[in-house]
Amino acid sequence: MSERPPERVRVTGPPRRRASRPVRPRRSQIDDATLVGEIYLTSLLREQLRLGLTGLAVVVLGLGIWPLLFWLLPDLAELRLLGFPLPWLVIGFAVYPFLWLVGWRFVRAAERNEEDFVALVETRDRP
């Protein structure tokens, strides 16, 4: 990166205000419970709650559809694949990898949300 321009130097007159405020990270806004801090916190909360409810909805739908399906179409229970009855394949085997995958996706997304939050609040704003 040799073609990088030399660092800019700001040329100014004497400062009008003597004491400039110290550079504080944004997280202090949360401690002070300012409006901005509240927005930071609420955005994290909303994201995580949305994620959690999505995960729960996927599980509820993924599991909940089956009793209804078997209730409406009882013949489905007699279907066999490779000798296994369909209900066994679904709620005896397939359900466990499904649940783990939902959990895995959730953990990754939740950690990413938290990393975004850390990056956001650890930024130091110019006073």
Partner 1 sequence: MNDAAPGILAVTLVTVATLAIGTWGLRFSRTTSDFMVASRTVGTRLNASAIGGEYLSAASFLGIAGLVLVRGTEMMWYPVGWTAGYVALLVLVAAPLRRSGAYTVSDFAEARLGSRSVRSLCTVIVVLVGWLYLLPQFQGAGITLQSTIGAPRWVGEIVVPVIVLINVMSGGMRSITFVQAFQYWLKLTALLLPLVVLLFVWWGDGAPHPVDAPASGVDPATWALPLAGADAQGLYLTYSLIVATLLGTMGLPHVVVRFYTNPDGRAARRTTLVVLALLGMFYLLPPVYGALGRVYADALVLAGRGDVLVLELPRLMVGGPVGELLTALVTAGAFAAFLSTSSGLAIAVAGVLGQDVTGRPVRGRRLSGVAAFRAGCVVAVTIPCVLALTVPGVGVARAVGLAFAVAASTFCPLLVLGIWWRSLTRTGAMAGLIAGGCGSGVAVLWTLGTPPGSGWASVLLSQPAAWSVPLAFTTMVVVSKLTRAEVPGDVHRIMVRLHTPEQVQLDRELTRRNPAPDRAGWA
Query: Token digits for 92?
Result: 């005896």
22 makes contact with partner 1 (CB under 8 A): no
73 phi-psi bin (left φ>0, alpha ψ -120 to 50, beta other): beta
Per-residue interface string for the shown chain with partner 1, residues 61-100, x marking contact by CB under 8 A: --xx-xxx-xx--x--xx----x-x-xx-xxxx-xxx-xx
Stretch that binds partner 1, among 5-13, 15-23, 47-55 (CB under 8 A): 47-55
SS3 assignment for 64-98: HHHHHHHHHCHHHHHCEECCEEHHHHHHHHHHHHH
Q: Is 107 in the site for partner 1 (CB under 8 A)?
A: yes
Per the CB < 8 A criterion, the answer to whether 114 and 17 are in contact is no
Find out whether 127 and 28 touch, Cβ atoms under 8 Å: no
Between 36 and 67, whose beta carbon lies closer to partner 1?
A: 67
Q: Site for partner 1 (CB under 8 A): how many residues?
A: 52
Using alpha carbons only, give the angle 106, 111, 115 rounded to the nearest 5 degrees.
150
Q: Which stretch binds partner 1 (CB under 8 A): 1-9, 11-19, 108-116?
A: 108-116
- Which positions touch partner 1 (CB under 8 A)? 27, 30-31, 33, 38, 41, 44-45, 48-49, 51-53, 55-56, 59-60, 63-64, 66-68, 70-71, 74, 77-78, 83, 85, 87-88, 90-93, 95-97, 99-100, 102-104, 106-107, 110-111, 114, 117-118, 121-122
